[in-house]
Amino acid sequence: MKYDVIIVGCGLGGLACGYILARHGRRVLLLEQGTQPGGALQGYRRRGQTFDTGFHYVGGLDEGQSLHAAFEYLGLLGLPWHRLDADGFDRVAIGERTFAFTQGYDAFYQRLADDFPAERAALRRYVELLKDVSAGQLAALNPDAADAGRLSEYMETGAWEYLNENFRDPLLIDVLSGTSLKMELRKESLPLFTFLHGNSSFIESSWRLKGCGSLIADTLADGIRAMGGEIICKARVQELVEKDGRLACAVCSNGERYEGSLFISDIHPAQTCQLIKESTRMRPLFRNRIARLEPTFGMFTVSLSLPPHSLRYFNHNLYAYREGNVWTFHQDNRPVGGVLVSCRVPEDGSDYTSQVDLLIPMTWEQCRAWEHTSVGRRGEAYEELKESLAGECIALAERFIPELRGQTWEYTSTPLTWRDYTFAPEGCAYGIRKDFRNPLQTFLSVRTPVPNLLLTGQSLLLHGVHGVTLTAFHTCAEILGREPIWRILEDNESRT
């Protein structure tokens, strides 16, 4: 059988593309080398409990907001979404002070303007940029819209440079940056575009799932199968074979060959290039350019299982910092200087949570001594490192949530864990590192030199659930055309 579209990788990007194309009548096949689809959305079980790998919350799901129409089309709005506290969905604690991020752009502006009255004008300009980026991501798919020049300008501007040129109060800069553990803060490279995108949708509205992030992956996978698509796990693609300047088939490690007319890669672009052994289209210059792109850092996660009725559920995320230095704390020597605390929505109808996740950035250099090891075989020194980091994370979080001292047990993961389960190079959490000094090199197109090979996933323009979902629609627009994709999403644009 020859498939209309073969998708390599079943992360959110691959699943979303598979769902969109299957719904448009394409015969799709998804090949996943892992044991289950989902990538960073997949969950894992320990002692009878299910934990999330990488999903904690998402923004922009209300009607008329930036992700509503996309999630509605993908059949995801019916999941058990739980809206976070509108008066403070994110709390940023720096030293002895705590600041709240409120939902809605006007409310967000007003709360921070009350805290920093001298910065009112600069905050108003900042909020307008957030709106501009949110609208621009959708408008880029409008077949009648002009080229999104404003977004290019934001890609060529440094986030750190912008913040310091527009805000005079260093504390406000730390507060505005304090929720950005969901991206890689680097003064020397982070584009303003990435910074704005990483914050804008959550300010629209913020949501957790009452359950594991794998609900998203399972819903998409079930939908693909219901529409006649196929998903094969434990199918590691070892080669994409080119014939007459176009890809012809995917060859898996077990020898199975699958022929297709179009191919989409949801794995890292460098890994994609490696799969094409011989090509008249993919020149060494392109391969070398992709191979040189740097990955973002990874995350260290402490998943805490709590005794019954020991901690009341709190309906917000806490970003806790020992001091300021939000942009550089992860580069300092220990102890840990900042941590994200995320609370699991109770699924038993009670007021008490059973799980809390603590997350901090972790570089590959901290893991390099064990890069040639596998899960469960990394040795005593690795376990000691994890135990030490976990203790520091808990100690910092306890300053704000004393009840965490009573946790029953903990499970930890590092970028090595991510690498071995999600196959991300160096366990990177956010794909390829974007760089405002070289945007044409680091913001990748969905197109490749091979005419029937497209890319999707977080290494292109946008990362996170919000970004990867919209990128999937951009990828599918190359196949279906912008007009049908815009018809799916235009309701959001008409309401903003």
Residue where one domain finishes, among candidates 375, 410, 429: 429
How far is 76 from 79, CA to CA, in rounded Å? 6
Verdict on whether the full-model pTM lies above 0.85: yes
Give me the number of domains the chain comprises.
2
Confidence of residue 125 (pLDDT cuts 50, 70, 90): very high
Q: Provide the pLDDT for residue 149.
A: 60
**SS3 of the chain: helix, strand, coil, percent, to 5:** 40, 20, 40
Q: Does 274 lie in the same domain as 394?
A: no
Last residue of a domain, one of 398, 429, 460: 429
252-280: average pLDDT:
96
The more confident residue out of 40 and 319 is 319
| Same structural domain, 454 and 475 | yes
Q: Convert the pLDDT of each residue in 338-366 to its tens digit.
A: 999 999 999 888 999 989 999 999 999 99
Q: What is the pLDDT of residues 437-463, one digit of tens each?
A: 999 999 999 999 999 999 999 999 889
Q: How far apart are CA 110 and CA 486, in angstroms?
A: 33
Of the ranges 118-122, 347-351, 373-377, the best mean pLDDT one: 118-122
Q: Rounded mean pLDDT of the chain? A: 93
Residue 445's CB is within 10 A of a number of other CB atoms, namely 12
In-domain check, residue 364: yes
Query: Do 308 and 396 lie in a common domain?
Result: yes
Q: Does one domain contain both 332 and 410?
A: yes
Write out 91-136 in H/E/C secondary structure: EEEECCEEEEECCCHHHHHHHHHHHCHHHHHHHHHHHHHHHHHHHH
Q: Evaluate whether residue 438 is within a structural domain.
A: yes
Question: Is the same domain home to 418 and 392?
Answer: yes
- What average pLDDT does this structure show over 398-403? 90
What range defines the domain where residue 417 resides? 297-429
Rg (CA), the chain: 22
> Within this chain, do residues 286 and 330 fall inside the same structural domain, yes or no?
no
Do residue 287 and residue 321 come from a single domain? no
Domain presence at residue 205: no
User: Does residue 483 sit within a domain?
Assistant: yes
DSSP strands (E only) in 134-254: 206-209, 230-232, 237-243, 246-252
DSSP string, 55-94: ---EE--STTSTTHHHHHHTT-TTS-EEEPPTT-SEEEEE
Is there a single domain that holds both residue 304 and residue 415?
yes
* Of 277-281, 299-303, 416-420, 421-425, the least confident: 421-425
CATH number of the domain encompassing residue 59: 3.50.50.60
Percent of the chain surpassing pLDDT 70: 97
User: Are 336 and 388 part of one and the same domain?
Assistant: yes
When pLDDT is averaged across residues 187-199 and rounded to a whole number, the result is 95
Q: Has residue 9 been placed in a domain?
A: yes
Of 408, 429, 450, the residue that ends a domain is: 429
Residue type at 174? Answer: D
Start-to-end CA span in the chain (Å): 45
Structure tokens at 122: 């600069």
Q: In whole angstroms, what is the distance from residue 255 CA to residue 127 CA?
A: 54
Q: 281: burial class by Cβ within 10 Å (0-12, 13-18, 19+)? A: middle
| 424 and 301 in a common domain | yes
Q: Is residue 106 part of a domain?
A: no
Asked whether residue 271 falls in the same domain as residue 302, the answer is no
Higher pLDDT, 141 or 78: 78
**Average pLDDT value for residue range 244-265:** 97
